[in-house]
Structure 1
Amino acid sequence: MTRDILACRSRRNGAAAAHRTTSCALIVLIALVAALIPLRTEAFPLGGDQTVLPTGTEFSEEALAKPRELFHSEAVGGHKSYLVNLGDLAFNSPSILGGKARQAEMSCGTCHVNGTSNPKLFVPGASSRPGTFDTTSLMFNPKAFNSILDPVRIPSLRGARFLAPYGHDGRITSLRDFIYNVIVNEFQGPRPSDAVLDGLVAYITDIDFLPNPRLSPGGMLSAQASAAERHGEQLFFKPFPHQPQVNCATCHVPTGVFTDQARHDVGSGGLVKTPTLLNANFNAPYFHDGRYDTYEEVVGHFDRIFELGLSSQDTQDLVAYLTAVGDGDRPFDKDGVAIRMKDVRELASVLKLAIPAADTAVVSLAVTGVGAELRELTEHIPDIRYASVGGQEERLAARTAVKDLVLSLRRIDLAVAAGHLDEAMAEYETFSMLATFDVPVALKKAEPWSLFNANVHQSHYAALGRMLQTTAKQAR
């Protein structure tokens, strides 16, 4: 997929909040859609609006399977709390940010997809390469603009509760303060309420590292390790030739989630915080500024800067060791009706406590966030005007069912605003019943003719890619 296709996952598990093109491309795209519909019966067009971000922006590629969060509360046999679900809502809501980010429907989840990183994100003028972002760029933060393109790597948030202090330079001790700084100072958002901050902290701290069967509990390699990995582990603990008091494990402490939580100058441009090596296989690019794509490049950097005298075999074995340490059992969700409706129910569950408390701010956030999830879900079910797709009756029923849920949310919002809390709770019970039973059934029947169908999905984006390629050629 080209970078002219903006697939913005601005909401949790959202396949695409909107598909945007430049204004000149959009005019041609409409004509191309009309021409292609009769030829591609399994594909259908999605509407788009003009982006406020520059041409060439990419948030992430479409995928029917994507990594999901591994929540500590669920891993130990419990369930996500009210605060975690509230934080999930806020994390994936553009409304908590400001300026260009909000206009572009970006959220925390745009950069940190499902609490991980986003190696595909690229914004001209704010990124030096995919997976990096400059929060002091003129586009997003004119008050902090310094006329320098100095983006940093987008980190994964897995295991964040173990990784204080925060920021690539470790300048902020508290996760709560760090979140506040990102929202208010870096993205010009309004000051979040204490409840929203509590929720964001709860959500992020509940995201666990991925389990890694290749490591023992103390951070040493498991018994199944290869000879190359074993030798790499020995090199990891070997003193540096010119600094015998130091080795790799001095900073990347195996018993301390592979970080000493301190700042060091490793020849990359000043003091930077030691990153964890856990789950690092999924967190490229590497270094604070994302300058390296591979472990080989990282090892080569340290070999040059600290004159380690590594042989070619040493480098290979260190890479094998780092790959073992950085591995993890990564759970994936297959995008579809079941996972989307599960998200809707979990996110909407905050209303059960927010309504009796007359917490209009949280109710509004939930109504907006869940409503956006539902509208995005509708975008995956083509309108019945596209008769060539098939399943017209099922698609109409599904879209109507989702519309009823959105209207139910609106009634909840109005009732709470008017102080009619009993009426709002009764409507919430209706919403919950519909979201648990009727709506999933209607959506499941329409799923074969939706973007959740792998064949329809592939054909649609292949057609969209061809359209934009043609548009680009005609615009030259």
Structure 2
Amino acid sequence: MKTLLASAAICLVPLTAQATAIKEAPWAPRAAAYRHTLFLGNLSPVPWEKIEASWNRAVPGSSLPYAAVSRASDEEAAALNSALQVQDRQALFEAATVIVAQGILRHLENADARLGTPEAATELAKAETLYRAFEDAIRAADEPAARQLGRAWLILNSSLGSGGVLGQGGQESNKAEFANARKDVSDYIRTNYLPAEFATRDKLAPVPETVFLSGPEVKLPATLPPGSNIADQSELPRLILQFEEAGEDEANLPLVAYGDMLFDSPEIFGGPAQELGIACSTCHNRSDINREFFIPGLSYRPGGMDVDGAFFNPMFNDRKDDHLDTPSMRGIRFTAPYGRDGREPSLRRFIRNVIVTEFAGKEPTPFQLDALVAYVREFDWLPNPKIDRAGRLTDKASDAAKQGEAIFNTDFPGLNGKSCASCHTPDQNFTDGLTHDIGSSERPFPGGTATAFETPTLRNINFTAPYMHDGSLPTLASVVDWFNDTRNLGLDEEQRADLTAYLEAIGDGEEPYQRFEGRDSVFRLSWEELTTFASTLDTLLPARDAQNIALLIDTVAPDLAADASVMTNQAAKPEIYELSAILRAVGDASAEGDWGEAEQQWQKFNTMQAAIDERMF
């Protein structure tokens, strides 16, 4: 193994990101395991057990449910297992890269040998799915080669030949063309991913070896491992906002509207979060939680992740593998302190901590914090007719729930003479504003002090499973069982069922998910939100606030164009692209200080928006 420290630096560069995430296609198992290896191998500390699992078990994001190492040769598998045993990052990178590269070459060889048969297309497709593991790095680091290789893959596919339809229109394979294109791809793979010796890499990335050794800085976009899901959950939570319930239009509340935009904007974050298009709303869909959010290596289960690890902000890395369940933000103005451990006493400090500390963003301006606080303070709970204003059950609750209410208010020796209601106080929205050590976290060392966690509200909890700070309990019934077992409450099966029924009653809510029917569509919802965000230009343009105008344009314009893909009225897509371009023109003029042009383009936007509004669905 070469010990040369190459001078090329691998880093991440900001890209134009959008908050509209798109789910990616499944990966070939070996390609998926390889990309997991690179992602996990760059964490600190390296989670070696997770890397080993990604090769020896079906990995998230794979197209087929088999272990990737089973498709490697015995020699390749031995090299990989040796690197895992001694926990050598460089050896791991080399062994994993060889498995993928050799797989590409073998499948190309098999396709060549089977030209003229259906098996050739199958083998070529397998080679392409493995090439995907390197493709984005080649495109970013060696653009001329990426273009040449792209043409080579096209030639490989076109030279396979075709049997036609019902014996008509068939085309024979072209062995010479296939051989030439195969040589182009194979030579590049051998040179860059099967060198005699690999240069030592501090950051594991599939940058071509020749480019890595050439010296200039190699800039790669941030990526997540296969199996990640940062798209909105399939059932969008229903958003309850105070001003809407009072009949007010958000466009008349520019501070709230701008805060709404910031909540949906990756631009307020830094580093990987911004590049990937992650925003506050990515985890907190419409004030609630995204129960499908998942990043392998950072998330134990969907709906949460380790927020203080090495990936998003190395400065905030506590070097602990501590997954946290995402809390709902409904009714957040009533649920201080904030953070699972209650570290922040105010919303303002909590929001600033998320932006700067967790996701490496720049220090927000006072105006931006004012706007975000103003917006999230509008979040309210789903209406629940089963409880009154004091948190007491109404006649709409079941008899079992009423029996459970009595248990909830009973003092137990196992709770130090207190009741469940002592902490989850009904007339204080089922919280007490304090932190408690309930035994749900491990001591950091023998004799150490375990972490205390804030008392979560129980309102609307029917829709926020799983439960506990780490999402370790899947149902409310399992929460009741956990307290019964760990606190020796002595509840029998019927009492546990009654207490569960009570929790389900106070945790209920009407119409928890957004309904879409007829003209109301996913795009219509996005259209109304994005045009409302844009309406804050009525305030920002007269104030000549170029900084916040730029942030708004960089958020709204790309999302408008991206959301056009989910329109029901596909014929109207060109108008959306035109509207997005006009908004970009507002930003360009603002950046140049040409306020007259910016105002003119803004009026053009308003005129067009009004003209096309009715057919945007």
Name the TM tier (shorter chain).
Answer: 0.7 to 0.9
Check the 8 A contact 1:68/1:331 in 2, yes or no: yes
Give the match's secondary structure for 2:491.
coil
The alpha carbon displacement at 1:403 in A equals 1.7
State how 1:340-359 maps to structure 2 within 5 Å. Answer: 340-359=526-545
1:423 aligns with 2:593: no
Percent of aligned pairs sharing the same letter: 36
1:67 aligns with 2:237: yes
The alpha carbon displacement at 1:379 in A equals 2.7
- Greater RCO, CA 8 A, separation 6+: 1
| CA–CA separation in structure 1 for the residues paired with 2:322 and 2:607 | 50
State how 1:267-282 maps to structure 2 within 5 Å. Answer: 267-269=439-441, 270-282=451-463
| CA–CA separation in structure 2 for the residues paired with 1:439 and 1:243 | 58
Any idea what the Cα deviations from partners look like across 1:304-332, whole Å, max 9, x if unmatched?
A: 22211000001111110000000011251
The alpha carbon displacement at 1:77 in A equals 2.6
Check the 8 A contact 1:378/1:402 in 2, yes or no: yes
Q: Aligned residue for 2:427?
A: 255
| CA–CA separation in structure 2 for the residues paired with 1:366 and 1:102 | 14
| CA–CA separation in structure 1 for the residues paired with 2:26 and 2:599 | 41
Check the 8 A contact 2:233/2:293 in 1, yes or no: no
The alpha carbon displacement at 1:68 in A equals 3.2
Count residues with an aligned counterpart. Answer: 407
Q: Aligned residue for 1:206?
A: 378
Give the match's secondary structure for 2:384.
coil
Runs of 4 or more off by more than 6 Å in structure 1? 29-32
Q: Aligned residue for 2:587?
A: 413
Q: Aligned residue for 1:377?
A: 563
Q: Given residue 302 of structure 2, which amino acid in structure 1 is its aligned partner?
A: P
Aligned to 2:576, which of 402, 407, 418?
Answer: 402
The alpha carbon displacement at 1:109 in A equals 1.2
The alpha carbon displacement at 1:60 in A equals 4.2
The alpha carbon displacement at 1:399 in A equals 2.5
Q: Aligned residue for 1:332?
A: 514
| CA–CA separation in structure 2 for the residues paired with 1:253 and 1:162 | 12
The alpha carbon displacement at 1:226 in A equals 1.4
Q: Which TM-score applies when normalising by structure 1?
A: 0.79
Give the match's secondary structure for 2:553.
helix
Q: Aligned residue for 1:432?
A: 606
Q: Aligned residue for 1:183?
A: 355
Give the match's secondary structure for 2:240.
coil
Check the 8 A contact 1:220/1:254 in 2, yes or no: yes
Any idea what the Cα deviations from partners look like across 1:371-398, whole Å, max 9, x if unmatched?
A: 122111233369xxxxxxxxxxx74x52
Any idea what the Cα deviations from partners look like across 1:125-179, whole Å, max 9, x if unmatched?
A: 2111111211121212222323321011101111110111111111111111111
| CA–CA separation in structure 1 for the residues paired with 2:415 and 2:466 | 28
Q: Given residue 491 of structure 2, which amino acid in structure 1 is its aligned partner?
A: L
| CA–CA separation in structure 1 for the residues paired with 2:553 and 2:24 | 23
Q: Aligned residue for 2:229?
A: 58
Q: Aligned residue for 2:490?
A: 309
Check the 8 A contact 1:125/1:149 in 2, yes or no: no
1:77 aligns with 2:247: yes
| CA–CA separation in structure 1 for the residues paired with 2:428 and 2:549 | 40
Question: Which is greater in Rg?
Answer: 2
1:319 aligns with 2:500: yes
Give the match's secondary structure for 1:266.
coil
Aligned to 1:233, which of 371, 385, 405?
Answer: 405
Give the match's secondary structure for 1:332.
coil
Counterparts in 2 of 1:90 and 1:307: CA distance versus 1, 3 Å = same
Q: Given residue 278 of structure 1, which amino acid in structure 2 is its aligned partner?
A: R
Q: Given residue 308 of structure 1, which amino acid in structure 2 is its aligned partner?
A: L
Check the 8 A contact 1:119/1:283 in 2, yes or no: yes
Counterparts in 2 of 1:146 and 1:366: CA distance versus 1, 3 Å = closer
Q: Given residue 423 of structure 1, which amino acid in structure 2 is its aligned partner?
A: E
| CA–CA separation in structure 2 for the residues paired with 1:212 and 1:52 | 41
| CA–CA separation in structure 1 for the residues paired with 2:567 and 2:455 | 45
Check the 8 A contact 1:131/1:153 in 2, yes or no: yes
Q: Given residue 73 of structure 1, which amino acid in structure 2 is its aligned partner?
A: F
Any idea what the Cα deviations from partners look like across 1:418-439, whole Å, max 9, x if unmatched?
A: 3332432232122122223326
**Any gaps of 5 or more consecutive residues in structure 2?**
1-16, 33-124, 133-149, 159-164, 166-219, 442-450
Any idea what the Cα deviations from partners look like across 1:100-141, whole Å, max 9, x if unmatched?
A: 212211111111111211121111221111112111212122
| CA–CA separation in structure 2 for the residues paired with 1:50 and 1:379 | 23
Any idea what the Cα deviations from partners look like across 1:431-472, whole Å, max 9, x if unmatched?
A: 12222332652x44xxxxxxxxxxxxxxxxxxxxxxxxxxxx
Q: Aligned residue for 1:105?
A: 277
| CA–CA separation in structure 2 for the residues paired with 1:346 and 1:236 | 44
* RMSD between aligned residues: 2.8
